[in-house]
Amino acid sequence: MSKRWFQAHQRDTWRRQARSKGYRARSAFKLKQIQEKFHLIRDGDLVLDVGCHPGGWTQVSVEETGPNGLVIGIDLLASAPVEGAQMVTGDVTDSNSQQLILQLLQEGMKVDGSFLPETMEGEQRLFNTIVSDISPRLTGQYDRDQAISLELVAMVFDFTLPLLAPGGAFVTKIFQGTGIEGIVNAAKQRFSRVQRFSPDASRNSSSEVFLVCKNKLPRPKKGSGGKSVAYELDRHLESEGIIQPKTDDDEGEIKSGFRRIPKKE
């Protein structure tokens, strides 16, 4: 950690405001500014916060939904409890974590501690809004970090969109660079309105941008072919000559930062 970074961190006005207003991170103001412009979260909404640690976005989500809303946060890292929210420690792509989220959603405990009306037998509740400030563990190698970020965002789309109600909203952080259009195009197949937005609270040196998606369509447009966002991202990267088309020889391999590497035995 450089002296210059530490001095800039100390001068960070958003960080000071977060501390004075009781938010756990300066990033809370990013969601507040997104909300101010796009009005994604409404009173009484059911909200899922993916990559919620340390809880700043969860705090804002609780404020915006009000006492009649429901907020669930999930992250690999454990977060201290957020009043009014239910916090899950786990991987959103893991089936056990997904099952727990569905269970909490179905139980329907609201911000004020009371419960939503019971659903009809066999009916599954869905979220109105999904928010994600998720980021990979950064290595300092931008091309690799940005590539892994895109893959992570694609996974979040694929694992959470089935939990989002038609007409719902989705916002996620994404790093600008190679392949971003693949994610944007995939989002446009699933939402009627997709915009990129950079909040004032983002650091000037940051390459992050937020993909704001509104009005989830009842089903993806025909151009998607019913494929996953991860699949569409791969096809985009192949068309740009960034990765080679997958062949039968790639069986038993995984991708990391747009590179296919053999799985360890």
With 0-12 / 13-18 / 19 or more C-beta atoms within 10 angstroms meaning exposed / middle / buried, residue 97 is: middle
Collapsing DSSP to helix, strand or coil, 68 comes out as coil
169 neighbors 40 (Cβ within 8 angstroms): yes
Q: Which value, in Å, is the radius of gyration of the alpha carbons in the chain?
A: 19
Question: Is 37 a known active-site residue?
Answer: no
| Centroid of chain to Cα 235 | 22
* 33 burial level (CB within 10 Å; 0-12, 13-18, 19+): middle
Token pair 């019971």 is found at: 118
173, 227, 246, 263: which one is catalytic?
A: 173
Q: Which residues are catalytic?
A: 173
